Chains A and B, each alone.
Chain A
Amino acid sequence: AQKITQTQPGMFVQEKEAVTLDCTYDTSDPSYGLFWYKQPSSGEMIFLIYQGSYDQQNATEGRYSLNFQKARKSANLVISASQLGDSAMYFCAMRESSGLIFGKGTTLSVSS
């Protein structure tokens, strides 16, 4: 069963605007971690932000924040003040006891 769902294949945003990338997950384990990674066209995987299942506050890292709604099992990534360099594929991932389980990804395109 798919455990990470990213329903937006592609998103388009203007520079300096904020954008939200959606992620829902499914797990019965009370302890898990949620991660977002960025994959530019050059192919590397860049860690952006982490949210733990027991964290009371939403995670923030610079222009990245995570809108964590545990009851809805959602962990949406918010990018504020988009930049051209934010154009990339973004993956939501979850970790229970083994490796990461990834969603299919969302392609973000930022235009000037």
Chain B
Amino acid sequence: DAGVIQSPRHEVTEMGQEVTLRCKPISGHNSLFWYRQTMMRGLELLIYFNNNVPIDDSGMPEDRFSAKMPNASFSTLKIQPSEPRDSAVYFCASSPQGARVSQPQHFGDGTRLSIL
């Protein structure tokens, strides 16, 4: 079975540019999560979708960040305009019956983002 698929794997862009990260969750999983990993802050939740609806976006840093899930098999995380402090590894994760705390989250390989 295919796991969570993220693209691109690496992204290098200049400050001020728009960045779009993409995620395809595991088929049949109804919950999707975006996380960010940095040396300073560790792993932190950005946003959580359940059945394509955003449930918790309290971790989204500021208005420059936006996330969408137009259907059950696709999500995007957009940063506009990007800043050097947005440089991080961004992970997407999905889980079945995701509202249940017992369900493990399966992570994609991450997108390593560098903003110059």
Contact = CB atoms under 8 A, between A and B. Distances in A.
Interface stretch (A11-19, A72-80, A100-108): A100-108
Interface residues of B, number: 23
Contacts of B44: 102
A32 B109 contact: no
Contacts of B109: 43-44
A93 B103 CA distance: 13
B42 A100 contact: no
A99 B101 contact: no
- Chain B interface mostly helix, strand, loop or mixed? strand
A50 B101 CA distance: 10
B91 A99 contact: no
Highest count of chain B CB atoms <10 Å: which of A31, A102, A105: A102
A95 B48 CA distance: 12
Interface residues of A, number: 25
B87 to A, nearest CB: 15
Nearest to A47: B104
Interface in A39-70: 43-47, 50, 52
A52 B42 contact: no
Contacts of A31: 101
A47 B103 CA distance: 11
B102 A33 contact: yes
A91 B43 contact: yes
Contacts of A26: none
Interface of A: 31-33, 35, 37, 43-47, 50, 52, 91, 93, 95-105
Given A44-B109, A99-B45, 7 more contacts: A32-B101, A33-B101, A47-B106, A93-B43, A98-B55, A99-B105, A100-B35
7 contacts: A37-B107, A44-B109, A45-B93, A52-B102, A100-B45, A102-B42, A103-B42
Shortest beta-carbon contacts, A-B, top 8 = A99-B45, A45-B107, A33-B101, A102-B43, A98-B56, A47-B104, A95-B101, A99-B48
